Amino acid sequence: MARAAGGIVLTFVLKRIGFLFVVLAGVSVLTFVIANIAPGDPARMMAGPQADAGAIAKIREDLGLDRPLLVQYGRYAGRLLEGDLGVSNVSGQPVVDEIVARAPATIELTLGGLIVALVIGVPLGVLASLRRGRLADILVRILAVAGAAVPAFWFGLLLILLFYRELGWFPGAGRFTGEPPAAVTGFMTIDALVAGDWSALKTACAHLALPVFALAILDLGILARLTRNQMLGQMRQDYVRVARSAGLREREIVRSHVMRNALSPLVGVVTVALANLLYGSVSVETVFSWPGAGQYLVNSIFALDFPVIVAFAVMASIAYVLFSLAGDLVYASLDPRVRR
Whether residue 89 is contained in a domain is answered as no
Residues 125 and 55 both lie in one domain: no
Q: Are residues 173 and 298 in the same domain?
A: yes
Q: Are residues 195 and 292 in the same domain?
A: yes
- Of 24, 32, 39, the residue nearest 74 (C-alpha): 32
What is the domain-level CATH number for residue 189?
Answer: 1.10.3720.10
Residues 6+ apart with CB under 8 A from 134: none
Q: Is 315 exposed, middle or buried (0-12, 13-18, 19+ CB in 10 A)?
A: buried
Same-domain pairing of 163 and 68: no
- Indicate if 209 and 167 belong to the same structural domain: yes
DSSP-assigned letter for residue 335: -
Reported as a single tens digit per residue, the pLDDT across 269-315 is 777 777 777 777 888 888 888 888 888 888 888 877 777 887 888 88
Of 50, 81, 112, the last residue of a domain is: 81
pLDDT in tens, 167-176: 888 888 888 8
DSSP line for 230-268: HHHHHHTSHHHHHHHHTT--HHHHIIIIIHHHHHTTHHH
Are residue 316 and residue 216 in the same domain, yes or no?
yes
| 96, part of any domain | no
Pairwise pLDDT comparison (282 vs 335), residue with the higher score:
282
pLDDT band at residue 224 under the 50/70/90 scheme: confident
Domain contains 306: yes
Q: What angle do CA 213, 165, 276 make, to 5 degrees?
A: 20
Same domain, 27 and 156: no
Total structural domains in the chain? 2
Would you say residue 226 has pLDDT above 80?
Answer: yes
Cβ burial, residue 91 (10 Å; 0-12/13-18/19+): middle
Same domain for 115 and 252 = yes
Do 274 and 313 share a structural domain? yes
Q: 201: domain range?
A: 101-331
Same domain, 197 and 69: no
Considering the domain architecture, whether residues 74 and 105 belong to the same structural domain is answered as no
CA distance 6 to 332: 12
Q: Do 280 and 216 share a structural domain? A: yes
